[in-house]
Amino acid sequence: MSSTRGIKQRIDNVRSVEQIIRAMDMVASTKLVRSRAQLEGVRPIYTELKRISEEVGTLEEAKSNAFYKTREVKNTLYIVISGNRGLAGAYNANVCRKALEHMDGTKNERLVIIGSKGYEYFNRNKKNIVHSIVDISDDQVYYASEDISKKAMELYLAREVEEVYIVYTQFVNVLTNEPVVEKFLPIESSLAPSDVLEKRYEPDLESFIDNLIPLYLHMYLFRAFSESHTSEHAARMVNMDAAGKNASEILEDLNRQYNRKRQASITQELTEIVGSVSVLNKGGADERK
């Protein structure tokens, strides 16, 4: 059994770790509020752009456009959004595993990885990583998502890839997030032509598509970034909260051990003192006889 000194040292160590956990919990909580506000701001913009893009996709003249035209698939690009740090539970593992499960190995896969955890995972699995970005801060997400969407469009329009998928973590609520794989390009429409009102596009449909789609894909990726970042901060906050509770339980258990050990030590000392006094008294009585 550990000595009181050893237990005391463990109590100090756990208390120090608990303070770090509480600080990380507060940071994650603050970042969650900010990223959630950003997500709630971009979702309506994305939804409306998605609706317009799908409406255009139902038109017969648009089906021959490169952004809507389906090709024979030989090369596939995956954009995978992960985190740069751990301590977020299964957040990084889930999104990386989801992407790997979707890759059936029959096509030539190319990967654009966002986040160092995703890069480590797919590098370990010997996947073809053509581009990677790490340490994107929350205030750089808008411009970073624009750059990545442009790179994906360039590869797609240059026919280096025939389809593009995006893998990210969808934020549901603080306790729930879900990794998803969605087709980024070509754009698929879930609307029927009969559901779309006849409209006139200025100056012409082709020019309208050329201006609409880059903005739509940018907002698509920006929303996916925001979903992932919000999910990561929520996962980290929940994980830190659980770790804080575990640290409190460990401290409580160590304090009980420490108190029992001290009590046993004091009892032993009192017993030795009483025993010594009894021996002395007995010795004095023998001398008087």
What is the CA angle 41-42-44, rounded to 5? 85
Question: Does a structural domain hold residue 62?
Answer: yes
Q: How many domains does the chain have?
A: 1
Residue 197: per-residue pLDDT: 63
Residue 227: per-residue pLDDT: 94
Residue 276: per-residue pLDDT: 67
Question: Does a structural domain hold residue 278?
Answer: no
Question: Does a structural domain hold residue 94?
Answer: yes
Question: Does a structural domain hold residue 133?
Answer: yes
Residue 46: per-residue pLDDT: 95
Question: Does a structural domain hold residue 154?
Answer: yes
Q: pTM of the prediction?
A: 0.83
Residue 1: per-residue pLDDT: 47
What CATH number corresponds to the domain at position 145?
Answer: 3.40.1380.10
- Residues 33-54 pLDDT 10s: 998 999 999 999 999 999 999 8
* Sheet order of strands, 129-133 included: 129-133, 108-114, 75-81, 163-173, 176-185
Q: By residue range, what is the domain housing residue 229?
A: 34-238
Residue 194: per-residue pLDDT: 59
Question: Does a structural domain hold residue 246?
Answer: no
Nearest one of 146, 132, 112 to 42, comparing CA atoms = 146
- Compute CA distances 186 → 123, 172, 208, whole Å: 27, 26, 17
Question: For the chain, which ranges sit under pLDDT 70?
Answer: 1-2, 105-106, 191-197, 275-289
Contacts 24+ apart (CB under 8 A), 91-98: 91/169, 91/177, 91/231, 91/232, 91/235, 91/236, 92/117, 92/118, 92/121, 93/121, 94/169, 94/179, 95/167, 95/168, 95/169, 95/179, 95/228, 96/121, 96/122, 97/179, 98/167, 98/179, 98/180, 98/181
Token digits for 164?
Answer: 């593009």
Residue 9: per-residue pLDDT: 86
Question: Does a structural domain hold residue 68?
Answer: yes
Residue with tokens 């966002």: 114
Question: Does a structural domain hold residue 19?
Answer: no
Question: What are the strands, taking DSSP E only, across the chain?
Answer: 75-81, 108-114, 129-133, 163-173, 176-185
